[in-house]
Amino acid sequence: MNNKDLAKNVLDLVGGEQNISGLTHCATRLRFVLKDDNKADLKALDQLEGVLRAQNSGGQVQIVIGAKVDAVYNEVRSLTSDRIGGSEPSAESDGPKKKRNPINVVLETIAGIFTPVLPALVGCGMIKCLATVIAAMGYLEGSGFLTIINMIGDCIFYFLPFFLAVSAAHRFKTNPYLAVALAAGLMHPTILNAASQIAETGVNSIDFLGMPILLMKYSSSVIPIILAVWIMSYLYPLVNRVIPKFLQVLLTPMIVLFIMVPVELIVLGPVGSHIGDWLTNGINSLFSTAGVLAGAILGFFKPIMVMFGMHYAIMPIQVQQVATLGATVLLPTALAANLAQAGAAFGVFVLTKSKTMKSAAASSGFTALFGITEPAIYGVTLKYKRPFFAGCLAAGIVSGFYSLVHTTANAISLPGLLALGTYTSDRYIYVVIGCIAAIVLGFVFTLMAGIKENVEGAKSKQQATDAVANISTTVATPAISAPSVSEASASSDMLIVSPMTGEIKPISEVEDQAFAQELMGKGIAVVPTEGKVYAPFDGVVEALYRTKHAIGLKAANGVEILIHIGVDTVSLKGKYFNAHIQQGQAIKAGDLLVEFDPEGITAAGYNTITSIVVTNMQQYGDVLTTATSGPIRESEALIKLIP
C-alpha cells in the first residue's frame, strides 16, 4: 500500500476529517486529537498495512508508522483542509467539548507543542555534537568554521520563544503571527540588553504605569511564551466579538498586543521563568540526593513512556535544563533505554526461529542504536513481552550507573550512538561503558528470559500439537490431492485451507511490497478465478475494512490470517465488493464471507491477485505453503504451520 492509500485508510478509520480537531506527528507516529474517540476503529487501524501499532494514549489516538511517518503525514494533510495541522487554525471550537482527564490534556498539549519543534531541536543538537567532537580533537580551534558550527548548534536556544510561539499558536488555535509578536516582546533588545547590564547599572526593572517590568533574559525560556500564547488564544476571540467587524483588522491586533505584551512582561514572564527554574533545579536536586535510584527508576520506565507516547512530557524540562544550565541529567536515561531495547531486539534475533522475525529484529535493533526505538518495541520486543522488560531492566541498571558517575547531555538530540559527542561524565569512558553495558545487558537478559513463539505466546509445544485436532475439525474436507488431516496431525503440523478458487502464486509476485517482502506476514497469493471468499476455519471476523477488500480472521485456536483482495483496491471504496459478514461476527468453515467482481475490478485497472498471510507468524516455528504454483480450489490445503 502506498503512502496516499495508507493516509486515506487512516483518515477513514479515525472517523473522517470532520472528527479530527488536531494532528501532529513525531519521529515515528501520527498523533490525532479527535472530537469523538469512539469513532476511531483502533483494531482496524492496528491491523492496517503500514501501521505498526494504534493506541489511545494521553488523550490522543497515536498511530505508529515508522520511518515514513513524515510522508504519510504530508499525504494526510493533502487530503484534509488547512485547519488540520495547517498554518492557521480557527480560534473557535470545531465541536462540542468533551470532559477529559486534566493530566491527559497537559501531556497532550506538551506533546503537541514540542513535537513540531523536534526536528529543529534534534538538528541543532547533532550540529552541537559535531562541534564538540571537532573541538575535542583539537582541530580548527579558534577558527571561523568552528565558530559558525557552534552558532548553528546554539541558535534554537537563543531564539526558542519564536519556535515555541508558532507551535503553541497552532496548538491553541490562535493567530501564529501575533504569537511571534509576543515572542518578540520577550526577546526585544530593550529587555535583553537592559537585563545583561543590571550589574553595571543597578537597574533591574522598568516602570510601566506604576507596575514594574522585571529585566530578565527570556532567550532560552520555555514556559513564559507558552503561557502567553495560551492566554492570547482566549483574549483574541473575545476582543474580536467586541470590536465591530469593519474595524477588526485595525483594532483587534493592536488591542491584543497592547494588553498581552505588558501582561507577559509583568506577570507571565517572571512567573514562567521561576517555574522553569524550579523544575530544572528540582530535578537536579533529586538526582544529586537520590541520583542512582532516580536514574534507575526513570531508565526502567522510559521505554514504557515511549510505548504510551508520554516521553514528550519531560521534553520541556530537558530543554530548560540545557538552555539554563548547559546540560540535562534526563537524556542519558533515554540513551540507556534505547540501547537496551536494541540489545533486546538482537537477543530476539538469536532466539527466534522465524526468518521474517530475524530480519525485523536485526533491522529494528540497528534503528534503536541510533535513537528510534518504536520499531524495535512495537515490532519485536513487545510482541514477546519478556524481551521488552529485559530491556527495561537493563536500562534501569545503566541509568543508575550514569547517575552515579554524573553523566549529562549538553544538547537535545536523538539519544543514540551518533550523539555520543554531546554526553559528558566524570570520565568520558563511563559514557562508553554505559552504552556497551546497555546493549550487552539487554541482549543477555533477553537470552535468559527467552521467548515463546507458540500459539498466543503462552501454549506449550504439546498444546500447539493438541490444537491441530481443533483445526482439523474446522476446515472443510480437503480434496484428494491435499494432505489428509490425519497426516497433518501425525506430523504436528497445522493446516489452513484455501478461502478461494484460483491459481497459486508466490507472495513475492504481489505488486504491493508490504506483502511481497512479507512485512504483513508469511503466506501465499492466489489469482482468483471465482469472485467468492469463504471462511477457511471456525473463528471470528477480527477486522472487516469498510472498503470490503480485506478481511482479518482469527481461528478458535489463535491462528490469525489476513485476506487482502487485489492490489490498491482500497481506492475502489467498496465498489465491486459485497460483504456477507460483519466485524466481530462468529464464522464457520465454508461460510461465504465476501463476493467480488473480478472482471469489474480488472476493467477498473486493478490487479485481483489476493494475498493470504498469517499475521501472527512469530508465534510459530515456521509458516510453509503446500505449493508455490498451480491451480487451487476452495477448501484445499494451502498453508502449513509448524509449531
Catalytic residues: 26, 564
**CA angle, 379 as apex, 378 and 382 as ends, to 5°?**
50
CA distance 47 to 446: 27
Handedness of CA 83, 86, 88, 89 (dihedral sign): positive
Nearest CA-CA partner of 27 in 107, 115, 112: 115
Question: Is 632 in a helix, a strand, or coil?
Answer: strand
CA distance 169 to 113: 9
Nearest CA-CA partner of 352 in 200, 457, 239, 198: 457
Nearest CA-CA partner of 628 in 479, 509, 517: 509
CA distance 85 to 622: 43
CA distance 352 to 554: 23
CA distance 490 to 540: 27
Nearest CA-CA partner of 230 in 112, 358, 356, 87: 112
Nearest CA-CA partner of 170 in 179, 161, 162: 179
Alpha helices in 100-202 (DSSP H): 102-136, 144-158, 160-172, 176-187, 189-196, 198-201
Q: Are strands 205-208 and 637-642 parallel, antiparallel or unpaired?
A: unpaired
- Which phi and psi angles does 562 have, rounded to 5°? -120, 130
